[in-house]
Amino acid sequence: MARQSKKTQTSTTQKAGTVEGKKIDDIKAEAIEKQQFPDPVALSQALLNAYQQSQPLFVEMVEQYNQDIKQQAQLAAQQIPTPPVDSSESTIDLLKSMATDPLKYWSMQLGYAQKQVDLLQRSIKKFSGEEAEPIITPDKGDRRFRAPEWDESALFDFIKQYYLLASEHVQQTIDSAHDLPKEKKDELAFTARLVTDALSPSNFLMTNPEVLNETIRTGGENLVNGMKNLSKDLHRGKGMLKISMTDRNAFTLGENIATTKGGVIYENDLIQLIQYSPTTEKVHKTPLLIVPPWINKYYILDLRAENSFIKWAVDQGHTVFCISWVNPDKKLAKKSFEDYMREGVLEALDRVQEITGEKSCNAVGYCLGGTLLATTLAYLKAKKQDKRVTSATFLTTLVDFEQAGELKMFMGTSQMRTVQRVMAEQGVFPGHEMQQTFNLLRANDLIWSFVINNYLMGKEPFPFDLLYWNDDATNMPAVMHSFYLQNMYCDNLLAQPGGISMGTEEIDISKIKTPCYFLSTKEDHIAPWKATYQTTQLVGGPKQFTLAASGHIAGVVNPPAKKKYCYWVAKDTPQDPESWLESAKEHEGSWWPHWNKWMGEYKGEKIKARKVIDALEPAPGRYVKMTSESASEPQKES
């Protein structure tokens, strides 16, 4: 702030309410503008306006909430959210560790206190108009503090740095507990991040300069609109907050999303099988079957024409078939993991052979679909039918779940008990619970950014195809999901020879000799690349491991035309993933053309294009339009 010099005499006559010829109000305004402080008078008026306008909205919201809760009263299990992570035991162990070496933690506390003193001193300098280097800055990818006020305003810069120092100190305290197992430290770090993310100053009206400025600019209208958005989201979740991530009315399946032309050529209780119409006069002889995850919907690979992997594969001359999984309800509660193999992948292989006349096809499995594909390959090997699959591509797929990342922290004893109770009562694990789990892994991006945009800034969410898909949750049948969580995530039995059985056949991944292409992504928080890499050490036969930049979705859905990101490839697959990375060569752009080139001989010769004949209905079909709330109702909202 500008300093006032102390003079007993001035060359300018001082009038009442002025200093050196300037009105005091003007000086205050200059200080507010210079330091990026919100005008307190304007802010007070805006908050008063918001309060007055929001009163009837608040009453209406409470009445609607009470009605929604009454409707949910008969579904008690849905009202008890699954606890995210139970870190109580790890917290006790951390306190014990701190007690064994109190001097170390006292020294850390003194260091933290000194940084706070340094921050206060530098902030005072900045308040005085002097330059002051920051004590700490946000990480490069942290988008919470992008507004210039976080740096230009001495007040908000102090709030930001104070928060970052506190968050850093918490993390350093956990890291310094060297006698704690890595699993417990990871659990504590994740829990601490959830708490510190929630307490970020960007999430609160009075400590977010962008929100304060918007409140003044709109006279509080943003807060009124925010309450309207909050009320709609509470109603949409039937009393539970279901944050809107995108404008759901902007998309309609089959019209402007999941639009690749084709037809449903087969269906049973679990799947609809889609065959896509050719776009080339000739196609490769060997067809391509895509096995997507059923933990969400297949059209992540067919969002829009310009970023659709399915359409791109069709354009490259592949005859593409894709499984569209049903969104199950309680009637399918007893469907097992083995049912998903038999009625899903194996049935699809039969239908592809029947339609094309080819005894073998290339297969692509994505995430959980890849886990099922690996299980199917091992089963076919045991049945001496492994030639039915010419090559297998695994996109961000876990087979060895030993280092499965942050998702394993949701598999604690108390969480598993809650999951089992919910599934026993409802017959399925509700899609919204699974969605919330994934959102917690990236809380700042998938929760708090929308809290700020929707409720504090009062804006409507932006129409975004990827977030529309992310919000389109699917249920999990109780028997299948229980088997998957226990045998894969908890016990890691799929990676062990004979660890699980499908029917009478023991599953041994090491017996797989099918040529395999593995695609992992470097920033994947769901299937960490070093964990997915381990599958290269389990299977035999020719194999290619490729690492793409970005994460679980963006690294996979990266069309060549975008010219984004990069990928790494290496000739060999040594035991250590870091050794692989050291030898890998970086290439610009999408991995899609590299994969298509690798397919080479597995694609077969060119033949006349196969048309879709006798389709039951046009793609994308009915199953993909079923919601997790009601498997019989279409997705479009009124």
What residues are annotated to the active site?
367
Give one DSSP letter per residue of 49-74, joined into a string: HHHHHHHHHHHHHHHHHHHHHHHHTT
Angle in degrees, 0-180, between the axes of helices 154-175 and 182-198, rounded to the nearest 10: 160
Q: 365 burial class (0-12, 13-18, 19+ CB within 10 angstroms)?
A: buried
Give the separation between CA 439 and CA 447, rounded to whole angstroms.
7
Q: CB within 8 A of 291, min separation 6: which ones?
A: 323, 344, 345, 348, 363, 364, 365, 366, 369, 370, 372, 373
3-class secondary structure per residue, 491-551: CCCCCCCCCCEECCEECCHHHCCCCEEEEEECCCCCCCHHHHHHHHHCCCCCEEEEEECCC
Element (H, E) at 312: helix 309-315
Give the separation between CA 361 and CA 319, rounded to whole angstroms.
10
DSSP state of 455: I
- Asked if 81 and 415 touch (Cβ cutoff 8 Å), the reply is no
Give the separation between CA 36 and CA 33, rounded to whole angstroms.
5
Give the separation between CA 539 and CA 517, rounded to whole angstroms.
11
What are residue 344's phi and psi, to 5 degrees? Answer: -100, -85
Residue in this structure with the two tokens 């035309």, named with its chain if needed: 561
- Asked if 139 and 112 touch (Cβ cutoff 8 Å), the reply is no
Strand-pair category, 361-366 with 389-395: parallel
- Reading the block at residue 346, the tokens are 């194996």
Question: Amino acid letter at 151?
Answer: D
- Asked if 175 and 185 touch (Cβ cutoff 8 Å), the reply is yes
DSSP state of 446: I
- Asked if 540 and 533 touch (Cβ cutoff 8 Å), the reply is no
Residue closest to 588 by CA, chosen among 562, 565, 615: 565
